[in-house]
Structure 1
Amino acid sequence: MACLHNSLRLLSRVIRYTGLALALALAPAIVSANNEGAVAWVLPGEEWKTLETDHFAVHFLSQHQPQAQRAATIAETQWPLLTQRLGWTPQDKIQMVLTDDFDASNGWATPDPFNQIRVFLSPPDGGTTLEAYDDWLNLLITHELTHIIHLDMARGFPASVRKVLGRNPLTFPHAYQPGFLIEGLAVYTETDHQLGLGRGQSKGYDMQMRMEVLNGIDDLNQVTISLRDWPLGKHYLYGAYYYQFLTETYGEEKLRQYMALYSRNIVPFVFLNPDVKKVYGKSYPALWNEFKGWLEQKFEPQITALSAQDTTALQTVSNEGYTLDASASDGRNYYYLRRNGDDRQAIVRISPDGKQQTLAQLQGATSLAVNPRGQLLYTRLTSRADGRFWSDIFTLENGREKRLTEASRYREVQWLNAGLNQPQRLIAKRLQDGISQLDLLSENGELLRTLWQGSLDDVLGEYTVAADGKTLVATVKRKNQGWNLELFDITTGQWQALTNSKAIETGPQFINPHTLIYAADYDQTYNIYQLDLNSRQVTQLSHLMGGALAPQWVDGKVFIQNYNARGYQHSLIKPGQPVAQFALDETQGQYNYPDPYQQPVSHSEGRDYSPWPTLSPTRWMPLFGGDDHATLAGAAIDGADALLRHSYIASYSYDFDNDLNAGSLQYFYDNKWQFSALREHSYREHDINGEQRLQIRRSDVLELARINLLHAFENRLQFSVGIHSDQEKDLTGNNDNPAYVQMLPATKEGLFGARLDFSNAEAYLNTPGYSWGHNAALIWETNNVIDSDYDGEVINLNWSAYADLPGSSVLAFNTANAYASGQSKPFTLGGNDLQFSDTLFGRDSWALRGYDDAVRAGTRLNVNTLEWRTQLSSIERNLGVLPVGLGNVGANLFIDHGAAWQEGQSSDYLTSAGVELSTDLVVFYAMPLPVRLGYAHGFDQHAGKDEVYLTVGYQF
């Protein structure tokens, strides 16, 4: 009997996941951060409100009314400026959501499924490249609104398609551009060289690009992909200077002409070069070469000036600083938080003799403090099931982590040393609702009193406490000014300004009660300075081509983090003569930024939030497919509300040849409820006695799950329950086609289940897949609650473990075990689809490479996999400006060993081994698709085979 499994079942799965496809198609347009999705669960007493202006609907919690009014004022102020500057005006109101769910500065914008902006109420407070701003909301909203206007552009044919299909992914030409063209434009518009704000004019960006010029400017195909290569976020950096080059060389009007022309393309990436040639007379490669020359000319004066003076001698103690690390000193030893992209984050101590010791491994740490006794404190972000990422204080006791605060949102902590024989105190910083606050805590993290609370116009940056416990020094940003150093009297709660300059002064540390060291960009870059508080004399301690930040005073020596083209190094300034000395008054200067809130805009009174205005679908996608047995046509829609708490995907298709209806519906509410319904058909042709007969098997699947019903251990342990129904039958035919053949009996499976999931697995930037930790799921299901042809219970245990090996290698192990009692549906084993798991419940198939699908079946199953994975190289190159490139290339050696059998029968294990080559196939410039080309050999002489396969998907 011949069997042909044609492509229509695959098509039905495509239809099923069309909503996902729509989202993926617009993935390049989700910019400025990871799309964090739904707002956090509402806490007791919280209410979501909405106020509307002419062009914006601002959604906010009731306690954030002042912040919402500020956001509305800024948005409406920037609206006419940006729409005129970019030459486009979106038709619909922009949905802007203000959240305080994250203890980090960020935001995002996307035109999918409607124009929306997410604003995190968390101003930058040090350690980033974002400090050059007048007002955080002004910088963020200007940046994100630029994205909305830019990506919303559609003229000509795309505009006509949008009128018919709505906000279809094909109607956003500018979303299909390299990231440096998207992010670079937003950094360009946020920058004002005259006022001295925005990243595009900052010394931090100059520092990074200057080192790029010295060490070789990236080619166009390197910048077009921006995944892991240093500097991280290079599409922001290179893009900012690229737009500055374009407008300085050719003018902004040319830029508007190019954007207008490009917005007419229905297959946009094909026309990147043709359109740029029409406007600028040159292709992108030619423009990039011209840009390289512009960069060299721009930075030549800086490089010449910095080269005219001797470079400070450094002793490098660690070159693992992939980012600017948190650091600390106990007076004798140097400590830092290591994050190198290859291994777990760790607290490292460097002793006076230069030896390094890893004190603890952890995840998500953001700041570090140590007292003269060597007691460590750190803050780290913790994941919560309610969707919040808040920071708390932790310490180490006998090498083990101890949590001191719970949901207190302290993002930085310092010791307040009151003497060796007196109780220790802590001073912790919180940024909540966009307002900075300093609290005095006991050694155990208990709140004693609030020392100070600022306003929306005050931002507290990095700070440290004097050894006598009377004073702290901090970087502070006041209204309409830049960052300056201020002293805070811990007893009286009063601030005293130390500096008043246009420089960014950062990382202050006490040498003694009358002397500070800190970093500042007084000249072309950041360097280290020493300030005598009595004489107000400044001594420059470093002069570097790259720059120096984060100084620490360690037993008369100064440790720093110096920047080079491959990242940050932890170094020690070698003894030598001071670079320069000058009076602090010589640094005086004020910004006096214009107040962005001087002219409040009119807006509606805040009303209760409703999801309905944004929940209706904004687009639809036509679906077509067919072969000799069926002709399908249909449509798919999806939608979400402004808070992204409700989202849905729906599709419908009709088979004209066989008069069959199919479709799907998926609905999600927060990360609490999931519902899915699916009807699909599979088509197989059989040769029966020389006659071709068609088998059509219908599958109806329903699933309802309540996830995160219970959770613990920072959301690493989750408990969910759900119901799953799967009914299958062969169709009997109709008047037009009575020749359907029935090959299999109808089946009905109904399961009620519960599952317990645990995950502490971590993935690192330069290693393949998960690199450390465990993923485990224990699933219990019963056939005896919902109507089912089966009876009995099913238990499924899956556990994966990952060991981080030296370098960029991982040893991964997975074991899957399934047990069914009574007359449960049998499990099947075989094939190479390691990703097969469409639903939370009802899984009955597992892979075993080197063997056919369903090579074994039974009510008992055990399959084990051991893999050694390693990174071979990092290509990080794109194919010119076409939407395809390659990221990392890795190798994977594996052994599979498993069996499926009936109770009371022999297990008859099968074994296979093989090798896989993997790479990130980067499509649309920003979407890495893991592709694996594998060879597997099944050792069983009867069932095994040699096979070569190609799969797309993540490994276990």
Structure 2
Amino acid sequence: MFIFATILFTWFDWEVMKTDNFTVIYKSNYEYEALQSLKYLEYYHNKVDTLIGNKPKNLPVVIEDIGTSSNGYANPFFYNIHLFTYPPGFEYHLEGIEDWHRLVSLHEYTHIAHMTNTKGLSKTLTRIFGAPFQPNMYSPGWIIEGITIYSESRFSPYEGRLNDGFFGNYISSCVYENRFPTIVEATNEPLSFPYGKGYLYGGEFFNFLAIQYGVDKFAQFFKTYGSYPWAMVSPIFPGLGLDIAAKRVYGRTFPRLFSEWLEYKKYHYIAGIRAERLTHNGWYKSSLLHYKNKIYYIQEIPIKLNGFRYKNITRIMEYDIYKKREKVFATLNSSVTTRMKLYNDNLYLGTAEIRRADNVYYNGFGITTALQRLNLNTGKSEILFVDDIRSFCILDDSLILYIKKSAKCFGSELWVYSCGERDKLLETEYLINDIETDGRLILVSASRKSENSDIYLYNPESNEFELILKTPWNEGFLTFSGTDQICFIANFDQRHHIYGLNLKNLENIVRYTKNGFVNSFVFIQDTIYLSGLNSAGFDIYKIPVKSEKYSLKQWEESPKLEFDDKKFLIKKENYIEIVKTLLPSARLPLFLPLDSTYRRWLYGALITGSDATGENFYLTIFGYDQLNGEPYFVSTIQSLFFSPLKLIIYYDYRGYSGLYTSYPIFRRLNSFLSDIEIYFNIKSFDNYARKEIAPGFAIDIKKPYNSYFLNLSTPLERISLRSSIDRIGLMANVGISHILFDGEFHTILTYFSDPRNPDTPSISIRGYKKISTQKGIKLSNEYSHKLLKIGKGLWNPNIFFEHLFGILFIDWALDNSKMYYSSGIEFALETKICFGFIKTLPKIGFAINQERETSLYFKIDTN
């Protein structure tokens, strides 16, 4: 009993602190993060309310630990925001983040203020029927994310993505290379560099609107559009909603405003990189290193496989500086989480791995880092250890100094790895983002609370940090370029250039690049090889080593915030506050025809809701069935209360109910096996006469270019268990996928045997109608390849065609008495509608079967 009570307590281990404006929900180990987020929300929410023109009601805020993944999200439908605890480090470029809790909490709060902004009849309908009548939810991604990017960049000139430089430099590259996005491209975000284009295009567009038309227009627009109860037609016909509001507020439709934005950027663009370009495949490149006349770097690039499916491939690339050739040196199982380092003949790098974590979002799992060593001569790799590594440096092949974020406060922990053992050296008030050594000195890029990163020398004997360079901007990607000489990247002019500093003369900063945008570099004799930005992504360039003296422009520090706790009262609450959030978010009347004469209908309602944590969700439809003359009731409940155990309970008044459970027992990114999940499903059907138990499992093996899966279940019925029949079946699926010639070969073998099942199953293969049998085998083989990039569409009505795919297939099946096979071809067109939120895949196919019968068919798959 004591053990059960202890386990139950851990499941209820949510704590709550509440003010008049916010209810913060968190696990007990995350009180620091909860309090920081709450204070920033209380301090700044009035500024967001004024910007958007809306003051939301008390907002649930959930703190989640996703490991070393930095993010957050807002849910305007169920009315909550979730904030992830880990502050980001340096990835592909420096991003100014003085305080992660401020940036992420205000970014997500802006989403809620925006998408719940309702006025007039829309406000009344929302109060009665719930979230579906909030007009501002029906906006394209560049509006939804654009206003939040603008909002996050207002609270400090040194924080937010509009103050970083990447967005502005990328848009300038698009202008210069004549690749500026149309409103249709910005809305539908085809697969091209960069990921998350809605943030970039939207943020830059809203910045343009603020400059040209004034910030006050934002609130006016959101209020105007928020008063349109017909706004839900906007995703199909923007001209009937969004453009009407835009014309009322700005005097122009959004397509016209996009054209104005282009003309504005033509006169305000930032000069691109001027250097010799060595590679031309773009996407993400970073972490350049030099070894034996070759450059090694990380590349991340997607391969389009099939309709709306792509695989992101992470590689270590090798570029021969004499032969001017690029080739793949190694392909990794997961993304890179740290800078790559070189020591002797070995590359060291951190790659993403999975661990357990306190969250609902990722079902109790989170991201961590596996530190790998890769020998450049043999190609052999090994994982040294796994930990939440923020940055590291190599002291020698058996001694590694690495950084972790402090567990319960702002700051870092310094750890040492030696001969398979890990020991904590110290904990510091500095949040260290980058660490480097030349074997004599240790250099770090670190920040104090509410500041960007500065450069320090770390003394391991005294455990002291000596300030080398302090500015309000970010400095990182530290490199020793000689004795007492360091180089680094900084965004002093929002352009991310390479700078140098002599440790014996700290007054003299030199600059090596003065145009373009650089995220990584390496010096080789009198040449700088760098990863520079263009409209297709990052490519390798080279320039001669030339430096010029650089003087920092005048700057002021960000104002230090003095939180006055007396302005808002924080009350500690309990789990009851979470239960309150289960109230229905949508309460919709339903009128559905039940026959072709339209004389008999289902009159009823749909209600749905979720608690703020996301642990518990429900959807219920109830009413009166005119066709059968009886009440109608169907309900589904999904729960992650016992996470990572997932429960789904389904009830249908017509004699069907079920309990479906799944439990992931293994998840890894860098091992032979990737996922193992077990299932145990129970259902009662046929007016409760039959009762089935179906245990099963699924195994996945995921490699960079191949993936394999096995699913198996054994449905079982027994009269002794109060079912009407005795029965046992076997269902199995085995599949292989292989990336081949920038396409995908996919094969699935299905076997089932269920001889005592009165509900005879069927096999479906192309070229035949359904083949009913109680025992059978099916083999499906297909190869898909992108045939044509279309990339065209319309704003009004909103539709976009991305790629045309060709699919060759051979299907084979065997039932109790006969063999079947067919072959053919399908053409699939990626089609997006409703601002790209709905993805459909219309297919037209031709098949010829064993009997030489041909068939032409059409179907639409949804994604």
Change (3 A) 1:790 1:916: farther
Moved more, 51-60 or 519-528: 519-528
Aligned to 2:691: 750
Which of 161, 166, 185 aligns to 1:199? It is 161
Change (3 A) 1:177 1:45: closer
- 1:455-534 aligned within 5 A: 458-468=430-440, 471-523=441-493, 525-534=495-504
Aligned to 2:74: 109
Q: Tell whether 2:176 aligns with 1:266.
A: no
The alpha carbon displacement at 1:806 in A equals 2.5
Q: Tell whether 2:70 aligns with 1:97.
A: no
Q: Tell whether 2:549 aligns with 1:607.
A: no
- TM-score normalised by structure 2 residue count: 0.88
C-alpha distance in structure 1 between counterparts of 2:187 and 2:204, whole Å: 14
Task: State the AA in 1 paired with 2:645.
Answer: K
The CA deviation string for residues 387-446 of structure 1, in whole angstroms up to 9 with x for no partner, is 32221223257756644334x3224333122xx7xx433434446456442433334553
8 Å contact kept, 1:863–1:897: yes
Q: Tell whether 2:710 aligns with 1:720.
A: no
Aligned to 1:9: none
Which of 84, 87, 91 aligns to 1:123? It is 87
Percent identity, please: 18
The CA deviation string for residues 300-335 of structure 1, in whole angstroms up to 9 with x for no partner, is xx44xx7xxxx754351x444512434445576432
C-alpha distance in structure 1 between counterparts of 2:556 and 2:758, whole Å: 72
8 Å contact kept, 1:392–1:404: no
The alpha carbon displacement at 1:474 in A equals 2.3
8 Å contact kept, 2:446–2:453: yes
C-alpha distance in structure 1 between counterparts of 2:782 and 2:147, whole Å: 43
C-alpha distance in structure 1 between counterparts of 2:561 and 2:793, whole Å: 41
Change (3 A) 1:70 1:438: closer
Aligned to 2:834: 924
Q: Tell whether 2:765 aligns with 1:848.
A: yes
C-alpha distance in structure 2 between counterparts of 1:42 and 1:315, whole Å: 60
Change (3 A) 1:463 1:918: farther
The CA deviation string for residues 246-291 of structure 1, in whole angstroms up to 9 with x for no partner, is 2322223333222211112223113112222222222222222222
Change (3 A) 1:431 1:866: farther
C-alpha distance in structure 2 between counterparts of 1:632 and 1:624, whole Å: 6
Which of 382, 406, 414 aligns to 1:439? It is 414
Change (3 A) 1:264 1:761: farther
**Partner SS state of residue 125, structure 1:** coil
The alpha carbon displacement at 1:816 in A equals 0.7
**Partner SS state of residue 344, structure 1:** strand
Aligned to 2:123: 159
Change (3 A) 1:797 1:401: farther
Change (3 A) 1:591 1:478: farther
Aligned to 1:778: 712
C-alpha distance in structure 2 between counterparts of 1:206 and 1:400, whole Å: 41
Q: Tell whether 2:662 aligns with 1:704.
A: no
The alpha carbon displacement at 1:368 in A equals 4.5
Moved more, 202-211 or 600-609: 600-609
Change (3 A) 1:464 1:321: farther
8 Å contact kept, 2:405–2:431: no
C-alpha distance in structure 1 between counterparts of 2:134 and 2:791, whole Å: 26
**Partner SS state of residue 202, structure 1:** coil
Aligned to 2:649: 676
8 Å contact kept, 2:94–2:475: no
8 Å contact kept, 1:500–1:588: no
Task: State the AA in 1 paired with 2:710.
Answer: A
Task: State the AA in 1 paired with 2:590.
Answer: L
C-alpha distance in structure 2 between counterparts of 1:136 and 1:346, whole Å: 30
8 Å contact kept, 1:330–1:554: no
**Partner SS state of residue 511, structure 1:** strand
Task: State the AA in 2 paired with 1:929.
Answer: K
Aligned to 1:802: 737
8 Å contact kept, 1:49–1:61: yes
Gaps of 5+ in 2: 1-6, 235-239, 304-311, 357-362
C-alpha distance in structure 1 between counterparts of 2:76 and 2:862, whole Å: 27
The alpha carbon displacement at 1:56 in A equals 0.4
The alpha carbon displacement at 1:668 in A equals 1.8
Aligned to 1:208: 170
8 Å contact kept, 2:343–2:394: no
Q: Tell whether 2:552 aligns with 1:618.
A: no
C-alpha distance in structure 2 between counterparts of 1:602 and 1:254, whole Å: 30
C-alpha distance in structure 2 between counterparts of 1:579 and 1:144, whole Å: 42
C-alpha distance in structure 1 between counterparts of 2:857 and 2:217, whole Å: 51
The alpha carbon displacement at 1:827 in A equals 4.9
Q: Tell whether 2:814 aligns with 1:814.
A: no
Change (3 A) 1:542 1:864: same
Which of 826, 850, 858 aligns to 1:949? It is 858
The alpha carbon displacement at 1:57 in A equals 0.2
Aligned to 1:688: none
C-alpha distance in structure 1 between counterparts of 2:788 and 2:588, whole Å: 39
Aligned to 1:868: 783
The CA deviation string for residues 98-129 of structure 1, in whole angstroms up to 9 with x for no partner, is 12223122111121112x11111122221256
The CA deviation string for residues 665-687 of structure 1, in whole angstroms up to 9 with x for no partner, is 2222224132332438xxxxxxx
Change (3 A) 1:357 1:886: closer
The alpha carbon displacement at 1:642 in A equals 1.3
C-alpha distance in structure 2 between counterparts of 1:278 and 1:788, whole Å: 65
**Partner SS state of residue 199, structure 1:** coil
8 Å contact kept, 2:285–2:300: no
Aligned to 1:219: 182
The CA deviation string for residues 820-842 of structure 1, in whole angstroms up to 9 with x for no partner, is 36x23565334xxxxxxxxxxxx
- TM-score normalised by structure 1 residue count: 0.80
8 Å contact kept, 1:330–1:372: no
The alpha carbon displacement at 1:172 in A equals 1.5
Which of 278, 286, 309 aligns to 1:325? It is 286
Q: Tell whether 2:53 aligns with 1:53.
A: no
Change (3 A) 1:479 1:208: same
**Partner SS state of residue 44, structure 2:** helix
Change (3 A) 1:673 1:95: same
C-alpha distance in structure 2 between counterparts of 1:517 and 1:559, whole Å: 13
**Partner SS state of residue 340, structure 1:** strand
8 Å contact kept, 1:638–1:648: yes
Change (3 A) 1:433 1:98: farther
**Partner SS state of residue 647, structure 1:** strand
- 1:213-252 aligned within 5 A: 213-216=175-178, 217-252=180-215
Aligned to 1:404: 384
Task: State the AA in 2 paired with 1:773.
Answer: S
8 Å contact kept, 1:229–1:876: no
Gaps of 5+ in 1: 1-40, 681-697, 730-746, 764-770, 831-846
8 Å contact kept, 2:62–2:613: yes
C-alpha distance in structure 2 between counterparts of 1:434 and 1:947, whole Å: 64
C-alpha distance in structure 2 between counterparts of 1:127 and 1:613, whole Å: 39
Aligned to 2:809: 894
8 Å contact kept, 2:806–2:826: yes
Change (3 A) 1:228 1:436: farther
The alpha carbon displacement at 1:211 in A equals 1.1
Which of 326, 336, 345 aligns to 2:297? It is 336
C-alpha distance in structure 1 between counterparts of 2:227 and 2:843, whole Å: 38
The CA deviation string for residues 555-587 of structure 1, in whole angstroms up to 9 with x for no partner, is 77543211111100133x3445x14134xxx33
Aligned to 1:414: 393
Aligned to 1:181: 143
Change (3 A) 1:762 1:256: farther
**Partner SS state of residue 185, structure 1:** helix
Q: Tell whether 2:51 aligns with 1:85.
A: yes
C-alpha distance in structure 2 between counterparts of 1:330 and 1:467, whole Å: 17
8 Å contact kept, 1:466–1:472: yes
Task: State the AA in 1 paired with 2:388.
Answer: R
**Partner SS state of residue 385, structure 2:** coil
